[in-house]
């Protein structure tokens, strides 16, 4: 089913404005992820879609029909919460069958649906077990199964993986994608984990303080962030930033500790940068190491090593220069010592620029 949220506001009786002018069209069978820091309005938006929160202003439509006043049970929506919300004294079979039993389905229909849902989720051998005898990942699959078995056209998921350990989260991410493709329901997924957003979404809705900061594919938000917030939120580790201004074709910080010759950038970009307070950004993984010193396409940066994180396939090296901190990724075999002066190179094509006053990207 297709969904549309148009000019949505949520204002509580105490005057707190949780959501401001939220506009989003969601295509049939699309997997949308709402991402942002805690308190940004993700869960509030999800609860308005579910009908658990009233919409103060604006319209919410499902397949072209405005459903603002429609009760939750009549919206054709299934919701999966952070807590599994399983009945502890029931078996997996009984947990899956419960909603169908309440709805008055025949036993043979219930049995067929339970077994089909269990097959989709890989729960066939656990149908006789109670939740206490399951792992966290298996309990989450049962919770998903209770949504799937209703044949709902819209799934809402509120941080469903947050109670799992790191290994289980990785496994369940791929499982959720597989289940989504198999079931084909329109899915809206809430998380504060940008890695989950990047790996799972067809499109990401990045939010802050109740406002949409950017909507796009994971690639669009990563390679073309529209503002400083998205640039700093999407990416692990986050993008590095240096504040300065353009002097001729040189990017210079106020204390002149950084001076980058931007010769070679497009003249129209340099014209947009002129006369503004600029924030230059670059991603940690774009640091390069090699014989680039004589190549005018590359900038040389350096800093003192504060921390070194060995991650196995890569290292995160934390640097500081004149109070400006940065993180770069290096190959695992790179020898790094705390306190060393460490240098690397950046391709000018990998640089991002933002207007410090408006926070918007300059492209």
Confirm whether 362 is domain-assigned. no
Domain with residue 124: its CATH number is 3.40.50.300
CATH assignment at residue 302: 2.40.50.140
Residues contacting 223, CB < 8 A, separation 6+: none
pLDDT over threshold 80, residue 316: yes
Give yes or no: residues 80 and 198 share one domain. yes
DSSP symbols for 34-102: EE-STTSSHHHHHHHHHTSS--SEEEEEETTEE-TTS-GGGTTEEEE-SS----TTS-HHHHHHHHHHH
* 252 shares its domain with 228: no
Q: Of 198, 233, 268, which marks where a domain is finished?
A: 233
pTM listed for this prediction: 0.89
The answer to whether residues 179 and 277 belong to one domain is no
Residues 309 and 187 in one domain: no
Note whether 248 and 215 are same-domain residues.
Answer: no
d(CA 5, CA 61) in angstroms, rounded, equals: 7
User: Do 61 and 20 share a structural domain?
Assistant: yes
Q: 213 and 260: one domain? A: no
Q: Which domain holds residue 337?
A: 240-355
Number of structural domains, the chain?
Answer: 2
Examine the fold and report which residue of 233, 254, 284 is the final residue of a domain before the chain moves on: 233
Residue-level pLDDT at 82? 73
Q: What is the pLDDT of residues 323-356, one digit of tens each?
A: 999 999 999 999 999 999 999 999 999 999 999 9
Q: What is the per-residue pLDDT across 63-89, written as a single tens digit (0 to 9) for each?
A: 999 999 999 989 989 888 777 778 999
Mean pLDDT, rounded, for 145-155: 87
Residue 31's pLDDT band (boundaries 50, 70, 90)? very high
Report phi then psi at 139, rounded to 5.
-65, -40
Q: Is the dihedral of CA 219, 221, 225, 229 positive or negative?
A: negative
Q: What is the mean pLDDT of the chain?
A: 93
Same domain assignment for residues 94 and 186: yes
Q: Quick one: 138 and 186 in the same domain? A: yes
């Amino acid at each position: 089913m297709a969904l549309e949220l148009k000019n949505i506001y949520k204002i509580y009786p105490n005057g707190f404005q949780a959501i401001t002018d939220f506009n989003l069209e969601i295509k049939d069978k699309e997997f949308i992820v709402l991402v942002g820091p805690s308190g940004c309005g993700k869960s509030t938006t999800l609860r308005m879609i579910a009908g658990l929160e009233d919409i103060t202003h604006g319209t919410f439509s499902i397949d072209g029909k405005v459903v603002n006043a429609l009760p939750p049970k009549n919206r054709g929506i299934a919701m999966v919460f952070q807590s599994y919300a399983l009945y502890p004294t029931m078996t997996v079979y009984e947990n899956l069958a419960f909603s169908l039993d309440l709805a008055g389905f025949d036993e043979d229909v219930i049995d067929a649906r339970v077994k089909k849902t269990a097959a989709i989720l890989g729960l066939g051998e656990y149908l006789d077990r109670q939740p206490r005898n399951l792992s966290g990942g298996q309990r989450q699959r049962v919770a998903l199964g209770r949504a799937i078995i209703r044949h709902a056209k819209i799934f809402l998921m509120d941080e469903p993986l947050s109670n799992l350990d790191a290994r289980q989260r990785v496994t369940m991410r791929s499982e959720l994608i597989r289940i989504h493709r198999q079931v084909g329901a329109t899915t809206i997924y809430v998380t504060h984990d940008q890695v989950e957003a990047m790996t799972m979404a067809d499109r990401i809705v990045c939010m802050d303080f109740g406002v949409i900061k950017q909507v796009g594919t994971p690639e669009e938000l990563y390679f073309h962030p529209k503002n400083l917030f998205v640039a700093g939120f999407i990416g692990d580790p986050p993008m590095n930033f240096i504040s300065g201004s353009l002097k001729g074709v040189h990017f210079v910080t106020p204390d002149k500790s950084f001076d980058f010759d931007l010769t070679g950038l497009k003249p129209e970009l340099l014209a947009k940068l002129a006369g503004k307070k600029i924030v230059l950004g670059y991603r940690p993984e774009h640091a390069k190491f090699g014989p680039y010193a004589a190549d005018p396409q590359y900038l040389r940066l350096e800093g003192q090593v504060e921390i070194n994180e060995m991650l196995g396939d890569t290292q995160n090296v934390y640097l500081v220069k004149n109070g400006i901190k940065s993180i770069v990724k290096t190959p695992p075999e790179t020898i790094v010592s705390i306190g060393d002066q460490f240098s690397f190179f950046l391709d000018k094509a990998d640089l991002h620029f933002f207007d410090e006053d408006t926070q918007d990207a300059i492209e």
